[in-house]
Amino acid sequence: MNDPRQAPWDGLIVGVSLATLDGHGGYGEIGDAALGWRDGTIVHAGPRSALPADPNALSGAVVDAGGGWITPGLVDCHTHLVFAGDRAAEFEQRLQGADYEEIARNGGGILSSVRAVREADEEALLAQSLPRARALVADGVTTLEIKSGYGLDFDGERKMLRVARRIGDELGIGVFTTYLAAHALPPEYAGRADAYIDAVIEWLPRLHAEGLVDAVDAFAERIGFDIAQTRRVFEAARTLGLPVKLHADQLSDGAGAALVAEFGGLSADHVEYTSDAGVRAMAEAGTVAVLLPGAFHVLRETRLPPLDAFRAHRVPMAVATDCNPGTSPLLSLRQAMQLACTHFRLTPEEALRGTTVNAARALGRDDRGVLRPGTRADFVHWAIARPAELCYWLGGRLASAVYAGGNRVA
Task: Summarize the annotated binding site for 4-imidazolone-5-propanoate as residue ranges.
Answer: 87, 150, 183, 250, 327
Give whole-number Cα distances, 32 to 22, 60, 406, in Å: 17, 20, 21
Query: Quick check: 370 and 376 in contact, CB under 8 A?
Result: no
What is the rounded CA–CA span in Å between residue 366 and residue 125? 31
Name the pairing type of β-strands 61-64 and 11-19.
parallel
**Numbered residues of the known binding site for Fe(3+):** 78, 80, 247, 322
Q: Is 377 helix (H, G, I), strand (E, B) or coil?
A: coil
What is the rounded CA–CA span in Å between residue 127 and residue 112? 19
**Numbered residues of the known binding site:** 78, 80, 87, 150, 183, 247, 250, 322, 324, 326-327
What secondary structure does DSSP assign to 282-332, as a single string? Answer: HHHHT-EEEE-HHHHHHTT------HHHHHHTT--EEE-----SSS-----
Helices (H) and strands (E) in the chain, counts: 15, 16
Query: Which residues have CB under 8 Å from 98's CB, separation 6+?
Result: 90
What secondary structure does DSSP assign to 95-106, as a single string? Answer: HTT--HHHHHHT
**Numbered residues of the known binding site for N-formimidoyl-L-glutamate:** 150, 324, 326
Report which of 3, 6, 16 is spatially closest to residue 400, judged by C-alpha positions.
16
